Amino acid sequence: MLPQKPALRPVVWQPPGRPPRSLVKVSRPPLPRVRRLPLGGKAPEDVRVDAAGRVLTGVEDGRVLSVDPISGRVATVTDTGGRPLGLCPLPDGRLLVCDAERGLLRTDPASGRTETLLREAAGRPLTVCSNVVAAPDGTLYVSDASRLPLEHWMGDLLEHTGSGRLIRYEPGTGTADVVLDGLQFANGVALALDGSFVVVAETGAYRLTRLWLTGPKAGRRELFAELPGFPDNISTGPGGLIWVAMTGPREPLLDLLHRTPPGLRRALWKLPTALFPGPRPTAWVMALDADGRVVHDLQRPADGYRFVTSVCEHDGVLYLGSLVESSLGVVGPVPQS
C-alpha cells in the first residue's frame, strides 16, 4: 500500500507570463561541459566552499562531506542522522547545517560535536529547514520551505498556498523572528556583500525576493528578479553576484493547473508521485548583480549533469549540486556572457 499523502489546500493563482527564455535549451555562450567529483553518496543538494578551499555538501544518507577539489578525496564532516540541505561555513571554522528533519544545526568539524540551534519559530516547527546565511554580526537568516515535508515538495508547488518563511535567528539570545512569510517554497538564501539586504528564492513563484536590512528601505520587501524557471539554492559570489541554481524551465502544464479550480489538483495529488512529470533534463545556472540584472545565463542540455540545485563560485570555478546525481559538478573557469 502506498503511504498516504498529506491533504492539499490548493488556491487559484495567475502565474506571470511565461518568458521566451524558458523555451531555450542552450544559452549563448552555453554552460561548458560539466566535470564530476564523485562522492560515494547520492543527491548533493547544496554545495559551499570553506576557508581552506574544501568543497562541502550534504547527501541523502545524512552525511555532510568535504571534498578536496584537486585530489578528489572525500571525508565525512558529520552525520546528522537526518537529511542535510543548505550549508554555511562560519568564520570560526564551524559549519551551519540546515537539516530537513532536525532543523538548524551547528557542527564543529574539529571535535565532531553537533548541536541543534533552531527547531521552531513563531510557535511553528521548521518543517523543511532549507538554507541559511550568516550576517557579519552573527545574525542568521534561515528559510523554512513549506508546511509540507520535504518528500512532498511537489505538493507545495501544486497547492501554491505560500507556507514558506524566512526567519531571523539571533544565536546569542535564541530569538527567532519570522521576517518574511507567505513565500512560495522558500529555498536558497543569500546576503549582499555589504549586508544591506538578503535575498530568498521562491521556487514556486519563479522569483527572487529581497528584504532590505539597512538604509532607508530597511524592512521593505520587494521583487529582486523574475526568472524563466525554478530557482533553488542561491549563493553570493565574488563581486557580490547572486548565483542561482535553476532546476529547470517553467512548466506550461503547472501554470495551467494553477489557473484551474482546486478540486482538479486535489484529485491529481492522489495519483502516485511516480506518474508526475519530472523536471526537464538541463544544467542551468544564472548570476545577477545587486540590482537584479542578469550577468551570467549559462545552460546546456543535460548530457552529463542535470537537475542543478545549487551553485557556488570559488576562484573562478563553479561547483554544482544536484538532487539526482551522485557527484558534484565542476565548471571552470567561469565563462564570460
Q: pLDDT tens digit string along 161-183?
A: 999 999 999 999 999 999 999 99
The size of the chain, in residues, is 337
* 82-105: average pLDDT: 97
- State whether residue 255 is helix, strand or coil: helix
Q: Give the pLDDT band (50/70/90) at residue 1.
A: very low
pLDDT of residue 278: 74
pLDDT score of 2 more than 60: no
CB-CB contact of 223 with 207 (8 Å): yes
Give the start-to-end residue ranges of the domains of the chain.
Answer: 21-331
Note the pTM of the prediction, 2 decimals. 0.96
What mean pLDDT is reported for the chain? Answer: 95
* 99-107: average pLDDT: 97
Share of the chain above pLDDT 90, in %: 92
Residue 25, amino acid: K
- State whether residue 190 is helix, strand or coil: strand
E-strand ranges in 43-185 read 47-49, 55-58, 63-67, 74-79, 84-89, 95-99, 103-108, 113-118, 120-121, 124-125, 129-134, 140-144, 164-170, 175-183
Q: Is the dihedral of CA 83, 34, 230, 183 positive or negative?
A: positive
pLDDT of residue 337: 59
Dihedral angle of Cα 141, 294, 298, 327, to the nearest 10 degrees: -10
Q: Give the pLDDT band (50/70/90) at residue 3.
A: low
Q: Give the pLDDT band (50/70/90) at residue 304.
A: confident
Instruction: Give residue for cell 560535536.
Output: 113
Q: Residue 57 phi/psi, 5° resolution?
A: -160, 160
DSSP 266-295: HHHHTS-GGGS----SEEEEEEE-TTS-EE
Q: Give the pLDDT band (50/70/90) at residue 155.
A: very high
Q: Which one-letter DSSP state was computed for residue 70?
A: T
End-to-end Cα distance, the chain: 51
Distance set, CA 58 to CA 134, 289, 314, 315 (Å): 18, 28, 18, 22
Share of the chain above pLDDT 70, in %: 99
Distance set, CA 179 to CA 104, 150, 319, 329 (Å): 17, 22, 30, 33
DSSP 300-327: EESSS---EEEEEEETTEEEEEESS-SE
pLDDT of residue 80: 97
Question: In the CATH scheme, what architecture does the domain 21-331 have?
Answer: 6 Propeller (2.120)
Q: Three cell numbers at 309?
A: 540545485
